[in-house]
Chain A
Amino acid sequence: QKEVEQDPGPLSVPEGAIVSLNCTYSNSAFQYFMWYRQYSRKGPELLMYTYSSGNKEDGRFTAQVDKSSKYISLFIRDSQPSDSATYLCAMSGAKTGGGADGLTFGKGTHLIIQP
């Protein structure tokens, strides 16, 4: 079983829809959770960063962490064509908090927002 599972997609939705992106993980030591957005041929860009369980909202983006289910989600409201990209989840353990031992990434979900 892979440490982090993420559906690669593609996920295609019409403009204005609410998008739900998800990752599951197996390592109960993960405490720090991130979502990155990556446009084609560019580096990943940090979108959301959360510690432990709960919700965090930033504009049209909401990140949810359910540690009991080992499940994290990213919701995008009022989706725009410019949101079309690959979304990567990433996580790390409590010892380093995403520091010196790197992050464990999902393989990314390719999202397409149709105008």
Chain B
Amino acid sequence: DVKVTQSSRYLVKRTGEKVFLECVQDMDHENMFWYRQDPGLGLRLIYFSYDVKMKEKGDIPEGYSVSREKKERFSLILESASTNQTSMYLCASNRPFWPQYFGPGTRLTVL
């Protein structure tokens, strides 16, 4: 059974704080992704990683960075949180040519 877990379901942070969102998958997938989902805008890709220590920018990488030190773990970092980063953050993983499987999401509120 596929399993993608995210460290928090709900998170409240203040403007300017450094925020870490963690994602772990237990399926030995090569690829991992971070998306954000906003009403009316749908899912947008922030960053993805196709191997340990490798990363590629997605459509909206500004204000974010990522880290993948181990194959099963992919972290999203908000260096200095801003109110426009209030959103639902979704992690996903897959093997090439197979569908992506999503985690439960982290609803982040930045005050």
Contact = CB atoms under 8 A, between A and B. Distances in A.
Interface of A: 32, 34, 36, 41-46, 49, 88, 90, 96-103, 105-108
Given A99-B31, A100-B56, A46 B43 contact: no
Contacts of B43: 44, 88, 103, 105
A41 B107 contact: yes
A41 B106 CA distance: 9
Interface string B8-32: 0000000000000000000000110
Contacts of B102: 36, 43-46
Nearest to B9: A41
Interface stretch (B63-71, B72-80, B90-98): B90-98
A98 B103 contact: no
Interface in B43-66: 43, 45, 48, 50, 56, 58
Contact of A108 (B42, B88, B96, B104): B42
A100 B101 CA distance: 13
A36 B35 CA distance: 15
B108 to A, nearest CB: 13
A42 B45 CA distance: 17
Given A43-B90, A105-B43, A107-B41, A100 B99 contact: no
A98 B42 contact: no
Nearest to A34: B99
A100 B50 contact: yes
A46 B107 CA distance: 20
